[in-house]
Every structure is written in C-alpha cells, then in structure tokens.
Amino acid sequence: MSFMHVPEFQLDGSVIEGVDKFGMEREFLSVGIDIGTTTTQVVFSRIKVENTAACFLIPEMKITGKKILYKSEIHFTPLLARDKIHLPELKAIIEFEYDKAGIQKDEIVTGAIIITGETARKNNAEEVLRILSDFAGDFVVATAGPDLESILAGYGAGAGEASNHFTARVVNFDIGGGTTNGAIFWEGEVIDSFALDIGGRLIQIDQQGVISYISDKIIPLINDLQLELAVGAKAKLEDVKALTDAFAKIFVQISSSEDLEEEAVKLFIGHSHKGLKAEKIMFSGGVAEFIYSDYEIGSMKDVTLFGDIGPLLGYSIRNAFEKDQHRLVEAREKIRATVIGAGSHSIKISGSTILFDEDLLPLKNIPIIKLAENENIGHMFNGIGEKIKRYGDTPVALAFKGPKSPSYGQIKEMAKAIAANAEGSHPVIVIVENDFAKALGQTVMNMLNTGTRVICIDQIKVDNGDYIDIGKSIANVVPTVVKTLIFKQ
Amino acid sequence: MSEMIKDISQIDYYERVTIDNPRDTESCIRLKKTTNARICLGRAGDRCKTETLLKFRADHAVAMDAVWSEVDESIVDQLGFFKVQTLAEDKEQYIKRPDLGRIFSQGTLDGIKGNCIESPDVQIIATDGLSACAINANLADIYPILMDGLTAKGYAIGTPIFVKYGRVATMDQISEAIQAKVTILLVGERPGLATDESMSSYMAYESSTLKPESQRTVISNIHRKGVPPVEAGAQLVNLVEVLIREKKSGVELKI
C-alpha cells in the first residue's frame, strides 16, 4: 500500500540559509524529552529565528527553520512498580543520551519534557518532572496533560503542515502504549484536541500467549463485547482482534464525525471531542508503525512481537480504513512524533515589539488570569484585584486579546487599570493577543514609575487555567511555552 | 433602495469570495488572506464581474483622492503643532514640482528659529506627503504616546512642527535650523490600492541636507491594519534611545 505524504518543508531538512538581516538571526538548541507509558525518548533540534519583515518595516521575528540534530534510541520507560517511575534510571537514560549526542546542558536554550499517557498518572509523576526539568537545562519546561500532548504529537507528526498543504481538516491520532491523543488541525492550527484510553499496551501478553495484564480502563468495553480476555488466561486471536477491531471502529467514527457507542464514549479522558469531521487522517505513535506497513497477522505469534496488542491494533486500523485509503496521509514521524513535537513545537515566539526586563527572565509556571473581552475597557478589569489576591505570593499574568489597533486613549485606560492592580513587589506581567504590547507596557511603566518591573508581551494566546513560562530573550523577542498542568492538588 | 445597494467600501474583501458556487469557500478565504492580490473573484463570461470592477475603481479613487486631500488642521492645532508651509504654493504645484516640497523660504526658516525650542533632543515633524488621510488617521494616536514615552525618558522635546505640502527632506532643513539631535518626521505614504491611511516615520541623527538619504531610519506601514500607530509610537521611543546612544542613524546603524 502506498500513502500520501506531507512534503518535506524545513522540519527534517536543512535549516534555510539566508542573509543575516541586520544581525537579526539566531539559532539555538532545543531539547525534547518524552516520558511515555511505554517508551522514553530524547531529541535535540536546532531552531532558527530570524526577521521575516522587509527592511523598512518593524522587524517580525519568526521561527523559520527547525532541524533535528539527534534522535535517541527508544528506551523502555523504567518503572519501580506499576504506579511509580524509576527516577534514578530515568535520569541515567537522559544523561546517557546527552553524552551520546555530545551536547552540554548549558547549550540548551529551550525545550520541553513531556510526561505522557498513563505515566502522567503515576504517583511520583509531578516530582519526576520537577527534578528532570532542572536537570535537563535552564529553560526546559516540564509539561503534562493529554490535550497538550495531543497538540505536540500532531505537530510532530506533521499534521499542522498537512492541513495547509491539503487545505483540509487533518486529524492525527497518536496511539501510544496507554493512550491515544487526537488533534484536529486547520490552517496549521489546532481546532480540537482530545485523548482516549486506547493503546497498544493496555493488554500485555507473554511469549506463551498468556495475558499478563489488562488495564482497568478497558474492562467495561471487554465485558460489553463479551470477550474472553482475562489475566492468566491464554489469549485467543479472535477475541483480541474483536477488541482491536472495536478500537479501530472508534477511529473511523471519530474521523467521520459519526456517533460513538456508549462504551466508546467512556474511553475519552477528561472530555469528549467536538465532533468535527476531518477530511484527512494521520496516525502516529508506536502503533502507527504497523498501520503504514504491510505487516500481516495470521496467528497469536505475530501479535506478541512486543508482548502487547500494538501490532494487532495497527493491523485492525489499517483494515478498517482500507475503503478510505484516499483519506490517509502518512505521518512524517510516527513513534517519535510526540518527542519531536515537544522539542520543537512547544515554543512560541512573542511579537517583536514588546517590553521586558531581561533580569526577570526566565519566569516559570506563571498562572494566567484571562479577562473576558468587553468593548468597555473599564468593565474588562472589574474585580481583577480580588482574583490577583487569591494567588497570594505567586506572581500572576493578566491576559486578554484587546482591540486590533487600540487608540492611545484605550491604551491609557488599560494601563491605568493594570497599574492600579499592581501588587507591591510582584512584577506586572501582561499577555495580549493583538500587537500593542510595547505601547501598553511602556504606558504602564510610566504610570507606575516606582521601579516596579513590567513585562508586556503580545501575539501569544492563552486561556484561563493555563500556565506560561517566559524564557530569556532571543533577538528582542521572548520564547514562551504555554501549558496546562493536569496534576491534581 | 439603499438596502439593495451594497456599499462596497464597507465590505471586507480580504474574506469576500465572489466566485459563483465555489467548491470550497473556506479554502478560497484562506488563499485570499495570504495576499493583497484580487483573487477568488469569479467572472462574467471572460470578463470580471461588475462588483469586482467597481471595487477596483473605488479603491483607485481612494488613492487618487488621498493625494489631493488636505490635513485636518484642527488635529494639528489641538496637539499644539507650529504650522509652516514649503515653497509649494498649492497642492497642484506640490504634486508637479517635488523640489519645491523639500525646501522653505528664508522667512519660514527664520519663523521656525524664532518660534520653536532650540537644540532639543528630539524634534517631531508631521507632514502631509502623498496622503494627508494618513496624518488625519494616525497622528492623534501616535503623537501623544510618543510624547509621553520621550518625556518619561527625560528627553528635551522640541516644539512639534506641521509642514504643509511637505516631503521627507524637509526634516533636514528644520533640523539644521534648530540644531536637533534626533528628528522624527511622520509622513503620509504614497497611497496604493490597499489603504490610504499608511504612514511612515523617518528618523535621523543630526539630520542634515549635506548627508545622503541613507542617513534615515524608517518604519513604514503604520496604520490600523498594519503596525498599529500606538505600537509604532512605543517603538519610536526605543529607537530614539538607540539613535542618541549610538550617535548615528540609517544604514550606519545596525539594529
């Protein structure tokens, strides 16, 4: 079988060579570390930021090239027990890969460690992330959360670019060991993301064909399908295949926005999908290696290649989409999609006319207070003092979209409300979507005039409940990472 | 009747697809957003549609009008600008004789010397250039933020000057007359078919008639759909700092 491809732009090819426009061109190293249910991987990329505006315009710094310098081996994620990550061994793996790549920690400018799938639900996941993010480099952020994971995997697989290339809604399913992360892209942006308890390792089977593990998450579905699958029993191909076929059907239904059965809906993690139809379909993750291949399965022996149901799940999906083959696009990265996404797509560059205080950076884990848009600017800021106080000693960032081209009167009104709510020793951090951060930041600073530090950046979109990390500046812009933490307090 | 006739100047043509029964409207809109070119228009036989032709003519008319438009002097009066005029006697002469739009009479220069602050750190000038509409649309937002920003930095700011029938080079003569360190000239850009509100800001360190054009640092495309005027103002405050620190401008300055 052959599949459509997304043409190679710059992602895996060479970083575009260009003239150095007024010295406004920088390259930096980024790391991505993915600690998944089954595997742990490390990727190093070189990211290029340069001025893309013509010389009589205000500079517009953009990421113009990404080159993957090093892909690690695929390690099994070390576990102490089913619910505990083996931190010392994990550290050893990461250290080994840094050494092998010949990269020093202080060369890393940015990047992300993402803890994914079932691993994020382990008891010591939060501790592991915290310790590793310091260990991996200065501005390497720790993230987790099924939605973010979906987005990063989708970008890593190339679904963002595919949506532009095919002018189509493209869904990417990243099927890992424990979970499947779905994201739908349109015009290079994510329009929906979700996660499901579907994975290649939810059932584990030994070489003799005896089931050694079944995840609790899929027991209701197994019962519903009346399959004879139990720990300690020998697995029959027809039973396992009935389950993987049921999973495959769910992917068919989601990508065609058909109604899902009750037991399938229960597999969503946290929230359901929006039900958008996608014209093109992509698969990444370890299981995808068996979708875009001609690996045949005739007996249980063919299934248990890795001691799980991954190959069979891939086989079921391939067959389920046989009639729809024209909609399938081959992912650029499969098992490495998430780690590549984490290494090079987690970072967003701010607008070029912003205000920041280099001494304050990097800032990590700043909670966002998102203001509701209101034509009456005064109303927008009603009651924010209360909200800020709730965070006590933690500095917070105020975020809103703001008018497209505000008048100076509007800028002053916003600045006045922000200055009035500046809390003592905290820096004032403001994040807006439209291009007026420098004007706003400067005006706030002039109003405060007391040595209170101000950071005001634009062209970054955040939501309530998000956290933002702001890195040290690169050619007058700042890299940011927006994340949603799922760890429950 | 007015309900039946669309005001084509009020429609957002960056999103309006006029192809009959397009197979994929969303993709057309996506294409349109990437360019100022007039695409996804559809056709009537082998010609463009009436709407397309009218829109083109309307945009062209806006550009033609902009060239002949006058700055609303109540705006410059309110902001406290000192008003002068180049040697161009009227709009027609200004258009026909570019040379006259670059120079002042001795009397005008004496007037500037007598009425404006001498040796300021920053001198701000506004002039109509080829689109007075640009000044009318942007000056009231860019000027106050520029003033507040420069004042907060502690710079001595000159008396703002409005030049009627002026071109970019007028900044050199004014700078020489009052010995300004940095001169900023806000000027209406030659209008195209996209907007008549686009303004440029030219800046120079010790702007002089003896220096080449390359002495100037420029920010162009200042208008509400380009660089917002307030944001350009904030950026100019930063650039003033750079120019004063580096004691140079234009191509000599690597930002």
Q: Rounded mean pLDDT of B55-66?
A: 91
Residue B122: CATH number of its domain? 3.40.50.11240
Question: Does B141 share its domain with B109?
Answer: yes
ipTM of predicted assembly, 2 dp: 0.86
- Domain A4-146 matches domain A150-335 at the CATH topology level: yes
For residue A186, the Cα-to-chain-centroid distance in whole angstroms is: 16
Residue A475's nearest CA partner among A5, A14, A12, A60 is A60
Strands A25-35, A108-115: pairing kind? parallel
* Cross-chain residue pair A57–B148, CB shorter than 8 Å: no
Tens digit of each residue's pLDDT (9 = 90 or more) over A67-112? 889 999 999 999 888 778 899 999 999 999 999 999 988 888 888 8
Mean pLDDT lowest for which of A17-31, A57-71, A341-355, B129-143? A17-31
Whether B3 is in a domain gets the answer no
Residue A330's nearest CA partner among A151, A148, A146, A166 is A166
DSSP assignment of A330-388: E-S-STTHHHHHHHHTS-EEPPSS-B--GGG--EEEEEEEEPPP-SSHHHHTTTHHHHH
Residue A146 tokens read as 């099924």
The CATH label, of 3.10.150.10, 3.30.420.40, 3.40.50.300, 1.20.1630.10, for the domain at A4-146 is 3.30.420.40
Q: Which chain B residues touch A437 with a CB distance below 8 Å? A: 231
Measure A424 CA to nearest chain B CA, in Å: 21
Residue B43: CATH number of its domain? 1.10.30.40
Q: What is the pLDDT of residue A70?
A: 93
Distance CA B62, CA B72 (A): 17
Residue B96 tokens read as 């026909």
* Cross-chain residue pair B254–A22, CB shorter than 8 Å: yes
Last residue of a domain, one of B45, B68, B91: B68
Question: CA–CA distance from A434 to each of A396, A404, A461, A463, B211 (Å)?
Answer: 20, 6, 9, 15, 38
Q: Which is more confidently placed, B154 or A489? A: B154
Q: Total structural domains in chain B? A: 2
Q: What is the pLDDT of residue B3?
A: 63
Distance CA B72, CA A170 (A): 52
Mean pLDDT lowest for which of A473-487, B4-18, B222-236? A473-487
Q: What is the pLDDT of residue B192?
A: 85
Question: Does B80 share its domain with B14?
Answer: no
Residue of A nearest to B229 (CA): A405
A14 pLDDT tier (thresholds 50, 70, 90): very low
Q: Which chain A residues touch B189 with a CB distance below 8 Å? A: none
Question: Does B138 share its domain with B45?
Answer: no
Q: What residue spans define the domains of chain A?
A: 4-146, 150-335, 353-483
Sheet holding B122-127, edge to edge: B82-85, B161-164, B122-127, B182-188, B199-205, B217-222
Distance CA A29, CA A41 (A): 17
Residue whose token pair is 């993957």: A68
Q: Under a CB-based contact definition with an 8 Å cutoff, are residues A431 and A457 in contact?
A: yes
Q: Which chain A residues touch B24 with a CB distance below 8 Å? A: 167
Whether B2 is in a domain gets the answer no
Q: Write down how long chain A is.
A: 489
Q: Which chain B residues touch A436 with a CB distance below 8 Å? A: 228, 230-231
Question: CA–CA distance from B149 to each of A217, A258, A405, A415 (Å)?
Answer: 59, 57, 18, 13
Tens digit of each residue's pLDDT (9 = 90 or more) over A425-452? 789 999 999 999 999 999 999 998 677 8
Please list the residues that pair with A369 across neighbouring strands. Answer: A398
Contacts A–B by Cβ distance under 8 A: 85
A135 pLDDT tier (thresholds 50, 70, 90): confident
Cβ of residue A441 closer than 8 Å to a chain B Cβ = yes
Q: Which chain B residues touch A406 with a CB distance below 8 Å? A: 228, 230
Q: Under a CB-based contact definition with an 8 Å cutoff, are residues A411 and B142 in contact?
A: no
Last residue of a domain, one of B68, B92, B114: B68
Distance CA A105, CA A103 (A): 7
Residue whose token pair is 């000056």: B139
Compute how many other C-beta atoms are within 10 angstroms of the C-beta atom of residue A424.
5
Distance CA A181, CA A37 (A): 13
Tens digit of each residue's pLDDT (9 = 90 or more) over A149-201? 898 899 999 999 999 888 899 999 999 988 999 999 998 889 999 999 999 99
Question: Does B183 share its domain with B141?
Answer: yes
Question: Does B93 share its domain with B60?
Answer: no
Q: Under a CB-based contact definition with an 8 Å cutoff, are residues A153 and A231 in contact?
A: no
Helix H segments across chain B?
Answer: 25-33, 50-68, 73-78, 91-96, 106-115, 132-152, 170-178, 229-246
Cis peptide before A362, with omega less than 30 degrees from 0?
A: yes
Residue B156's nearest CA partner among B126, B130, B180 is B180
Q: Is the pLDDT of residue A22 over 90?
A: no
Cβ of residue A280 closer than 8 Å to a chain B Cβ = no
* Cross-chain residue pair B228–A441, CB shorter than 8 Å: no
Question: By percentage, how much of chain A surpasses pLDDT 90?
Answer: 50
Whether B1 is in a domain gets the answer no
Q: What is the pLDDT of residue A392?
A: 81
Q: Which is more confidently placed, A64 or B18? A: B18
- Amino acid A315 reads Y
Q: Which chain A residues touch B223 with a CB distance below 8 Å? A: 405
Q: At what angle do helices B132-152 and A408-420 cross, to 10 degrees?
A: 30
Strands (DSSP E) contained in A166-325 are 170-175, 180-186, 189-196, 203-205, 211-214, 280-284
| Selection from A145-149, A375-379, A444-448 with the highest mean pLDDT | A444-448
Mean pLDDT lowest for which of A312-326, A435-449, B9-23, B116-130? B9-23
Q: Under a CB-based contact definition with an 8 Å cutoff, are residues B185 and B199 in contact?
A: no
* Cross-chain residue pair A439–B140, CB shorter than 8 Å: no
Residue of B nearest to A188 (CA): B30
Q: What is the pLDDT of residue A139?
A: 67
In this structure, what DSSP letter does residue A78 have? Answer: P
* Cross-chain residue pair B231–A439, CB shorter than 8 Å: yes
Q: Is the pLDDT of residue B136 over 70?
A: yes
Please list the residues that pair with B46 across neighbouring strands. Answer: none
Phi, psi for residue A66 in degrees, rounded to 5: -140, 130
Say if residue B74 is exposed, middle or buried (CB neighbours under 10 Å; 0-12, 13-18, 19+): exposed
Chain B residues with at least one Cβ partner in A under 8 Å: 24, 26-27, 30, 140-142, 144-145, 148-149, 152, 200, 218-221, 223-225, 227-235, 237-238, 254-255
Q: Under a CB-based contact definition with an 8 Å cutoff, are residues A439 and A432 in contact?
A: no
Q: What is the pLDDT of residue B157?
A: 97
Q: Which is more confidently placed, B253 or A478? A: A478
Q: What is the pLDDT of residue A9?
A: 45
Compute how many other C-beta atoms are within 10 angstroms of the C-beta atom of residue A278.
25
For residue A177, the Cα-to-chain-centroid distance in whole angstroms is: 17
Last residue of a domain, one of B37, B68, B99: B68
Question: By percentage, how much of chain B surpasses pLDDT 70?
Answer: 98
Measure B222 CA to nearest chain A CA, in Å: 9
Q: What is the CATH number of domain A150-335?
A: 3.30.420
Q: What is the pLDDT of residue A11?
A: 36
Q: Is the pLDDT of residue A405 over 70?
A: yes
Question: By percentage, how much of chain A surpasses pLDDT 70?
Answer: 93
Distance CA B193, CA B176 (A): 36
Q: What is the pLDDT of residue A488?
A: 39
Per the structure, the complete domain to which residue B20 belongs is given by: 8-68
Q: Rounded mean pLDDT of B145-151?
A: 95
Q: Under a CB-based contact definition with an 8 Å cutoff, are residues B171 and B125 in contact?
A: yes
A10 pLDDT tier (thresholds 50, 70, 90): very low
Q: Which chain A residues touch B227 with a CB distance below 8 Å? A: 57-58, 353, 435
Q: Which chain B residues touch A59 with a CB distance below 8 Å? A: 255
Whether B23 is in a domain gets the answer yes
Q: Name the residue facing A435 among B145, B220, B231 (closest C-beta).
A: B231
Q: Name the residue facing B221 among A57, A59, A167 (closest C-beta).
A: A57
Q: Which helix (H) or strand (E) holds A432?
A: strand A428-432
Q: Which chain A residues touch B238 with a CB distance below 8 Å? A: 438
Summary mean pLDDT of chain B: 93
Interface-testing mutation among A405, A416, A430, A454, with chain B (most B C-beta atoms within 10 A): A405
Distance CA B153, CA B147 (A): 10
Angle at B47 between CA B43 and CA B50, to 5 degrees: 70
Q: Rounded mean pLDDT of A265-287?
A: 92
Tens digit of each residue's pLDDT (9 = 90 or more) over A189-236? 899 999 999 999 999 999 899 999 999 999 999 999 999 999 999 999
Tens digit of each residue's pLDDT (9 = 90 or more) over A310-324? 999 999 999 999 998
Q: Is the pLDDT of residue A486 over 60?
A: no
